[in-house]
Amino acid sequence: MSKHLRWIAVVLLVAPAMRAEAIPAFARKYGMSCTACHVAWPIFNQEGQNFRDNGYQFGLGKDDPVTLSPAYIPIALRTTPAYQFTRQTNQPSDQGPITVQSGGVPLPPGVDILTAGTVAKDISFLLVVSGFGPDGTASVESAWARLDNLFGSGWLNFKIGKFELDEPASAHRGVALTYGYAVYGAHPLGSTVGFDMGENQVGIEIDGHDARSATRYSLSFTSLNGGEVLSGRESGNGWSSPMVYGHVQQAFETGSSVLPWVRVGALGGIGWWPTTFDTSAGTPIAGTGREHKKLIRAGGELSWLMGNAATPLFFTVAYQYGREDAGLAEAGTTDPATGIDLSTVSNSFHGGFAELDWVPFSESSYNSVPWLLFARYDIVRFQRGTGDVDGGTIGVRRYLALGPRASAAIHLEAHVDQAKGIGAPDPVSGLPMNVVTQSVLAGVDFDF
């Protein structure tokens, strides 16, 4: 396997966390605190989930822009000035394996501009432009429109544009700021597939839910070409590398004070990715892909609340299986352990994560949720080849403001993961070594 492909694997397995979509413009619109819809910003509670499922509507006559003061602007800004230090072991260099360390505060720290809401009853939208960091570039992270409550029923809604797949835990509303869910971006060694489940996709979605969003479903038809990170190996047009993805969830109320709420879910997706390209100086030309091979994702999740739902211990455990057909690995990629050419065989992985978000207590103040503690464990195991990942993330957020206008939080986080066999070659054995990534982040998260 080339060094280039090893690096692709590293990047995909421990991709930085996606910027979260939390929109205080809604708090200003309705006069409600962020805590009304979020366990702790940015994680949804059931009220927030239902509000989103309804097309950013409460449905009581105060959603339509014509009912609002003309001074209301549905725009929110988020920026997170933070110091982040990262250390990675066993990186290749001309001097042999080295440990690379970096740290600093990106200035400017980057900004997300979010606008969302309803343009009229049952027509909703979301536009997120993200970037404006030191390189000055910005990109459209999300851009979609949705026709809500078709035929007067919450069971049928239609979304088109660039959007996040309905996931067991949102990659864009995760609380961690250093690294995202490893299993969402997992690919077997040498994979050429550019799909990342945590990235927003381009396509259409049909979804629905009951009145309380206890039962939910979504069915998406997307183009694997549309991910946020293009691999340069996309096929000819938007629909020539299609993916069909579905997710269902069912929540149960137990009435118990210990375990008041449980939710189960299942997901599945099947997509096709090209394996043959025209080339220029040996490099694949984007848009010329053909001879597609299949990839699948399947899994499930279990979420539950413990204790008072207003100050919950919120658990999510998710499992995912992935499989990619023979031909989807780069030709000549060999399994270091067996010597098998991985491009000639299918490969698969099992993985998942367990996450705990805890609001230890509340205060009778307009910053009613002062603390959030969180911890997550990520795991990925591949059938063949290297790249197995174990990772842990812990953190704490101290909310300085969480009222009906804006939010701010001091955010401290630490992350460590080990990816097996993807580092520089061992000088003795010649086999790729494990890479340990450590990262700490301290910053202030502003959402206005």
Partner 1 sequence: MKRILALTFSAAIAALAGAAFATPAVPDAAARGRKAFDRYCISCHGVDGDGRGPSAEWLDPRPRVLTSGTFKFRSTPSGELPTDDDLHQTITNGLHHTNMPRWGPITERERGDLVEYVKSLSPRFEKEPQGKPIAIPPQPAFTPDLVRTGQDLYGKMGCANCHGDTGKGDGSSAPTLRDDWGFPITPRDFTSGPLKVGDEPRDLFKAFMTGLNGSPMPSFAESITPEQSWALVAYVRSLRKE
Binding site for partner 1 (CB under 8 A): 27, 30-33, 35-36, 45-47, 49-51, 58-62, 211-213, 253, 255, 257, 260-261, 308-311, 362-366, 368-369, 403-405
Smallest distance, Å, CB 202 to partner 1?
A: 30
Angle at 78 between CA 28 and CA 312, to 5 degrees: 70
Please say which residue, 5 or 305, places its beta carbon nearer to partner 1.
305
Decide whether 236 or 403 has the Cβ nearer to partner 1: 403
Q: Identity (one letter) of the amino acid at 301? A: E
- Minimum CB separation from partner 1 for residue 66, in Å? 13
Give the integer Cα–Cα distance in Å for 306 and 318: 17
Between 1 and 359, CB nearer to partner 1: 359
Least distance from C-beta 397 to partner 1, angstroms? 16
Rounded least distance, CB 265 to partner 1, Å? 17
Nearer to partner 1, 154 or 385 (CB): 154
Q: How far is the CB of 112 from partner 1 (least distance, A)?
A: 24
Longest dimension (CA), the chain: 72
Strand partners of residue 422: none
302: closest CA among 250, 340, 350, 337? 250
Is the CB of 59 or the CB of 238 nearer to partner 1? 59
With tokens 């404006």, the residue in question is 132
Nearer to partner 1, 255 or 282 (CB): 255
Beta carbons within 8 Å of 412's beta carbon, 6+ residues apart: 395, 396, 397, 441, 442
Q: How far is CA 163 from CA 45, 94, 159, in A?
A: 20, 42, 9
- What does the angle CA 209 – CA 368 – CA 402 come to, to the nearest 5 degrees? 75
Query: What are the two backbone dihedrals, phi and then psi, of residue 342, each rounded to the nearest 5 degrees?
Result: -70, -15
For 255, residues 6+ apart whose C-beta sits below 8 A from its C-beta are none
Q: Is residue 196 within 8 Å of 167, Cβ to Cβ?
A: no
Q: Minimum Å distance from CB 314 to partner 1?
A: 13
Tell me the C-alpha distance between 373 and 161, whole Å.
34
Closest CB to partner 1 among residues 185, 265: 265
